[in-house]
Structure 1
Amino acid sequence: MRVGGVPLHVVVEGSGPVCVLSAGLAMSWFDWDPVVPLLAPHRTVIRFDRPGHGLSAPTAVPPTAAGEAHRIAGLLDALGAAGPVTVVGHSLAGFHAEAFARLHPERTAALVLLDSSVEEDPRTVLPPAVRTAFARALGRAVTAAGLPAAFGALARRATVRASRTGGPDPAPPDLVGRCYRTGRVWQGVLLENARYPDMAAELLALRAAYPLRAPATVVAGYDGSASGPALRWLGRQAALADRIEARFEVADGAGHLVMLDRPNQVARAVLSAVPAPGDDG
């Protein structure tokens, strides 16, 4: 589906009120597979790959928080999705989901942030244009060297295993190969990562200018350890919930990829954000 001039890979399942699922940096539509069967009986579930991710085409325009928020709005327009939606953002996509809720309040029924990225005071050393140019050059270099074809699937598998508590990467090998053995995905990931601090700063500005009118939920992954980094991350997630006046939940025993480790809790958080007629409980 072409949205804003960019071909996007989109999957729509289920029926009922709409929810939109957007995964974090370097993730794909199939990373929501454990959650979707729990939502589809109650919701129309829309999941998509951002430009350069999954099976979506790249874009020449560097990503911004507002740009990704408007991309979600354009996707809803293209699908003819009427009525306010529950928008769900994981990790970096939490920036995009919150930006959508602030810039499109009339289209937002609820906001759910899953172990969202948090930056209290984002700072950069190099200008955005320099970081963007370096990311593009690095992406072309690793592609020309054949690194995605050789190591892309292995890098994906290792990253997922390190980011969860519940075992290895459950994604089908053929889909992992189709996505992560391509230079397109590596270049898309490098570009988003290069613009990460800019999107974080942009979101802080949006918070100051646009109130959040929809009910919000923050779900934090916590592996149960007493380590300093784990407890500090939990505290930052709780502070994020306080800052945006959101309901706060801890997904005990979950790593960063909460939707893989605790799909039932993620589904409950989405369904309870705005209960629809006929929802159980």
Structure 2
Amino acid sequence: MNPPPRFVRVDGIPLHVAVEGAGPPVVLSAGLAMAWFDWDPVAALLAARDRTVIRFDRPGHGLSAPATEPPGAAGEARRIAGLLDGLGLGGTPVTVVGHSIAGFHAEAFARLYPERTAALVLVDSSVEEAPRTVLPAALRTGAARALGRAVTAAGLPAALGPALRGGAVRASRAGRAADPAARDLVRRCYRTGRVWRGALLENSRYPDTAAELLALRAEHPLTAPATVLAGHDGQPGDAARRWLGRQAALAEVLGARFEVAEPAGHLVMLDRPHQVARAVLHARG
């Protein structure tokens, strides 16, 4: 069962956060357009193993307030730090866990706040070795805002939001497994234009965030122990092999332990929650 909704204001934006358990803190941040409840199985396992589990929704995601500005790697790292301060955990090192695009944010936090990082775990993280942009950032951001307003005005989130969420989850799981999220939570989040606008805005700055992280790597060494956990659905193919190769290369760049979760789609936390929890529990070495 999810803990009751709680909100912490960071930089003027109310962030939805769920805190459960007791012990060394773990911060879980999900990928693009995902929500706190996508960590339910992992959070339950960690709380049962004496961890304080902190799940939060970035602006425009889950139940958090709408995003006002495009996100960036350093900005999202500062948001995590502000959230921990708001929870009274400013002086406690945390294990920070990032899935997909949130892997950029988690790594940025570990590099910018080494004294606050006990360990870093990347779960099928986004990887960009040489990010490129074609259109200017301002143009991409403006287009994302305009599209978000148009989609909302047309009533598409209310009509199709939960169905689109369900289809995306099935496409991202091993064996096309169904979305396990509670229907009332899915409707509460994905029938709103706020979530789709937030996802479009975040995605519009994806290459910029990736490039920013590469710059941070050059300036801020990673001192915390790190783990890269890559999902693999067990199916043969060049695309799957290339993805595992890129994840292994990321682990080498970070000096991280590399592990494959199999069978698992991109949503490793739903397909292999025990393996994710085990990686987090062992991340400190």
TM-score by length of 2: 0.95
Q: Of the candidates 91, 97, 103, which is equivalent to residue 106 of structure 2?
A: 97
In 1: Cα distance, 2:47 partner to 2:153 partner: 41
Q: Percent identity?
A: 76
* 1:100-115 superposed matches below 5 A: 100-115=109-124
Separation in 2, partners of 1:257, 1:226: 19
Q: Which runs of 5+ in 1 are unaligned?
A: 276-281
Which one of the candidate residues 149, 154, 162 is aligned to 1:140? 149
Task: Give me the whole-angstrom Cα distance separating, in 2, the residues matched to 1:5 and 1:61.
Answer: 12
Q: Could you list the per-position Cα deviations for residues 26-60 of structure 1 after superposition, in whole angstroms to 9, with x for gaps in the alignment?
A: 10000000111110032100000000000000132
Cross-structure match for 1:279: none
Give me the CA root mean square deviation: 0.7
Larger CA deviation: 159-168 vs 69-78 = 159-168
Q: Aligned partners of 1:163, 1:212: CA distance in 2, in Å?
A: 30
Q: Following TM superposition, where does structure 1 have runs of at least 4 consecutive aligned residues deviating by more than 4 angstroms?
A: none
Write the letter of the residue equivalent to 1:34.
Answer: P
Kindly tell me the number of residue pairs found equivalent between the two proteins. 275
Q: Is the counterpart of residue 57 in structure 1 residue 65 in structure 2?
A: yes
Equivalent of residue 130 in structure 2, options 99, 110, 121: 121
Instruction: Give the gaps of 5 or more residues in structure 2.
Output: 1-7
Correspondence 1:230 to 2:237:
no
Q: Structure 1 residue aligned with 2:82, among 74, 79, 96?
A: 74
Give the C-alpha shift of residue 61 in structure 1: 1.5
- Distance in 2 (CA, whole Å) between partners of 1:93 and 1:176 is 20
* 1:278 corresponding residue in structure 2: none
Aligned to 2:94: 85
Partner of 1:178: 188
Matched with 1:245 is: 255
TM-score with structure 1 length normalisation?
0.97
Shift of 1:264: 0.2
Question: 1:33 is paired with a residue of what secondary structure?
Answer: helix
Give the Cα separation in 1 of the matches to 2:108 and 2:39.
Answer: 21
Counterpart for residue 221 of structure 1: 231
- Alpha-carbon distance between aligned partners in 2 of 1:102 and 1:274, rounded to the nearest angstrom: 16
